[in-house]
Amino acid sequence: MCTRPQAYSEGSASHRSALRSLLAGGVVALVMLAAAATGCQPGASEEPVDLVAVDSVLAELGGTLTASLERGQRWRMVSSIGVGLPPNDFKPEDLPEPGSRGAGLLQVYCIQCHWLPTPQMHSAAEWPILVKRNLLRMQQLTDRLGGPLTTGLIGDVVMAGYESVEVPSQADMDTIIAYLQQYALPTPGPDDLTPGAGRDLFIQRCSVCHELPAPSAHTAAGWDRVVAQMQAYMGLLDVEPLSTQELDAITGYLRERAVR
């Protein structure tokens, strides 16, 4: 049976210890905690968590943008960040050209806040925007941590860990972007979207949240996994999920044109 976290008394040693443990894992821990708090998640911890204390950290990190929101809105927004996080089972040896400088820089910088990304998560046109957005987030984390709310809640050890995040130089950022673009998610060419049942649905529904991928981007089995994953993401983002008929039509269209 799913139970809601209970709050510790404000300022107690127990709540500080629990919060320190949660935040020591980095930004991913905040996302996982927010997801668990906004809805019962499989495997979620039933240990008491001081939601008021954690919410203060979320408000501080987000600045005026999140501080002005209602608490429920703020936590739903933070939990939705998890939708865009890389998978947790992608390993360095799975990277294209794992010994290259680009692959090495991904491991140096990107895993400071989340799991290792795969270049095929996004298209070549999307990667420069996402990398620069994450660079801004890294800079904001360094600037915001140490504010009046977080200092009393987190403690010196965890604060030092966050403040030591290494921000890439312009040269390193350019190398990372070039590497990600070289092995990015392929997008359809003029002859890739051949006629067939499910074609129009694929174009209409799958381009709502991201650039349309080429049907040859995955194997047939890979498309089964990706489409199911996207269906789950749509629910998290309050996008109307695919019906059973739409799901079957899109998956069938992609399977027939998948890479062999």
Give how far the C-alpha of residue 218 lies from the chain's centroid of Cα atoms, to the nearest Å: 21
- Helix, strand, coil content of the chain in percent (nearest 5): 60, 0, 40
The predicted-structure confidence for 75-116, as pLDDT tens digits, reads as follows 666 665 555 667 777 899 999 999 999 999 999 888 877 788
In 3-state terms, what secondary structure has residue 118? coil
- Taking residues 236-243, report their average pLDDT: 82
C-beta separation of 38 from 75 below 8 A: yes
Classify residue 179 as exposed, middle or buried by CB count within 10 Å of its CB (0-12, 13-18, 19+). Answer: buried
The predicted-structure confidence for 43-72, as pLDDT tens digits, reads as follows 444 455 566 666 666 666 566 666 677 777
C-beta separation of 56 from 149 below 8 A: yes
The predicted-structure confidence for 118-169, as pLDDT tens digits, reads as follows 898 899 999 999 999 888 878 776 666 544 444 444 444 444 445 567 889 9
Would you list the domain boundaries of the chain?
Answer: 13-82, 92-182, 199-256
| Residues constituting the chain | 260
CA–CA separation, 11 vs 152, rounded Å?
9
CA–CA separation, 36 vs 75, rounded Å?
10
- Taking residues 212-240, report their average pLDDT: 86
Query: Is the pLDDT assigned to residue 178 strictly greater than 90?
Result: yes
> Percent of the chain scored above 90 by pLDDT?
32
